[in-house]
Amino acid sequence: MEKLADTVRGACFLSILALLTGCRGASDAQPVKGDPAAGKIVITRQACGSCHTIPGIELADGLVGPPLIHFASRQMIAGALPNSPSNLAAFLRSPQSVVKGGAMPDMGLTSRQARDAAAYLLTLK
For the chain, the domains span 2-121
Q: Is 39 helix (H, G, I), strand (E, B) or coil?
A: helix
> What confidence score (pLDDT) does residue 24 get?
39
Q: Cα(111)–Cα(121) distance, rounded to whole angstroms? A: 15
Q: What is the pLDDT of residues 42-71, one digit of tens each?
A: 999 999 999 999 999 999 999 999 999 999
CB of 116 closer than 8 Å to CB of 29 = no
> Roughly what angle, to the nearest 10 degrees, separates helices 85-93 and 111-121?
130
Q: Alpha-carbon distance 13 to 120, whole Å?
A: 25
Give the CATH H-level superfamily of domain 2-121. Cytochrome c-like domain (1.10.760.10)
The pTM for the full model equals 0.76
Q: How far is 77 from 62, CA to CA, in rounded Å? A: 18
Helix (H) or strand (E) segment spanning residue 19 = helix 2-20
Instruction: Name the DSSP class of 82.
Output: E
d(C-alpha 87, C-alpha 78), whole Å: 11
Summarize the confidence of residues 10-26 as an average pLDDT: 42
Yes or no: say if 96 and 105 are a contact pair by the CB < 8 Å rule.
yes
Res 10 pLDDT > 80: no
pLDDT above 90 coverage of the chain, percent: 73
